[in-house]
Amino acid sequence: MLEQQLIQLIFLLLLILGGLWLSIGYSLLRRRYRVKRKKQLKEQVIQYVSINYTKSLPISKFVVPHWLQGYIKKSRDLRDVANIIINIKDFFITDRDTWSFLFATDVTVAKELKADIKSNNWYKKSRAIWISYELDIDQNLDLIAKLNSHKHILVRREAQIALVRFLGWKSLRILPYVKFPISLWQQIRIVEKLHQYYPKFDDTFFKKAIQAESPSSRELCLRIIRRFHVQNYNWYAIQELFSEHKYVANMALELLDELSFDEDDLKLLGQHYQAYKLRANNVVLDQKLTPLLQANN
């Protein structure tokens, strides 16, 4: 009886094994098809871009070709097209830093993206936001802006980056209102995107950003000061040096080496330091500040 059951089990297991072999075969074929299709798409996109890029037509004159329309109507293919364009961006050296001529005129893409941004699926949302800022499609900016404090970390991260990409320094206005902590990864991305697309420091909006109270936003402000070599915010760095949040204080300490202080700064530093010593003791801070203050006495 039991032997019979075991034989049945063996057949079932063999069936499962056979199913797995078929799945491996299918996954190989699927991969081969996808690779071939991607290669074909890449060639078509490169050819299209290289032909049209040399034409100095106004954006409104560009019409997305029929074959490309077919691709961008499918969400997955649209991601592939976006990936290809992002990858080839670096190889076309030109004074035009935007690729919107490919898509800006076509409402289909923005429409597709809008539907995904509104979707309840976090992955679709984040991917649509990513495509929007990588391809300079800003038609859905209002929708994206609302997602900067979304409960899903990847959605809000992509939304924040999109705001930085589209609005530049102006996007920093939201820092005092950001509800969730900003990870170091995200801080680095924000700083690097600003540096890449908006290399000129803008005091107007930074003034608003430094009003943020959350430790990670303050840490981000310190990173901006460092990346853009901003000199007129020494007082902010000095103030954060004595922050009760160790990450903020550590960041300010790292920044210290890169700032040059005038007499007023040193006076302020001395005052803060004296007040701090009354309530806490920090050996690393002592080692760093004592020689600096003594040398300037």
Rounded to whole angstroms, how far apart are CA atoms 27 and 47? 30
Minimum CB distance to other proteins smaller for 9 or for 59: 9
The interface with other proteins within residues 20-39 (CB under 8 A) comprises: 20-21, 23-25, 27-28, 31
The reply to whether 59 sits near other proteins by the rule CB under 8 A is no
Select from 135, 161, 136 the least CA-distant residue to 148.
161
Stretch in the footprint of other proteins (CB under 8 A) among 39-47, 100-108, 112-120, 150-158: 150-158
The reply to whether 154 sits near other proteins by the rule CB under 8 A is yes
In this chain, which of 208, 227, 272, 288 binds other proteins, going by CB under 8 A?
227
The reply to whether 123 sits near other proteins by the rule CB under 8 A is yes
Minimum CB distance to other proteins smaller for 192 or for 202: 192
Least Å distance between CB 192 and other proteins? 6
Rounded to whole angstroms, how far apart are CA atoms 169 and 164? 7
Q: Convert residues 172-211 into a mask of x (bound to other proteins by CB under 8 A) and - (unbound).
A: ---------x-xxx-xxx-xx-------------------
Rounded to whole angstroms, how far apart are CA atoms 281 and 114? 54
Q: Where are the alpha helices (DSSP H) in the chain?
A: 2-53, 66-72, 75-89, 100-103, 107-118, 122-134, 141-145, 153-167, 184-197, 203-209, 215-227, 234-241, 246-256, 263-279, 283-295
CB atoms within 10 A of CB 178: 17
Rounded to whole angstroms, how far apart are CA atoms 209 and 216? 12
Stretch in the footprint of other proteins (CB under 8 A) among 37-45, 124-132, 138-146, 236-244: 124-132
Q: What is the largest CA-CA distance in the chain?
A: 97
The reply to whether 223 sits near other proteins by the rule CB under 8 A is yes
The reply to whether 231 sits near other proteins by the rule CB under 8 A is no
CA dihedral (12, 18, 20, 22) positive or negative? negative
Rounded to whole angstroms, how far apart are CA atoms 231 and 131? 36
Which residues of the chain form contacts with other proteins (CB under 8 A)? 1-3, 6-7, 9-10, 13-14, 16-17, 20-21, 23-25, 27-28, 31, 123, 126-127, 130, 154, 157-158, 181, 183-185, 187-189, 191-192, 223, 226-227
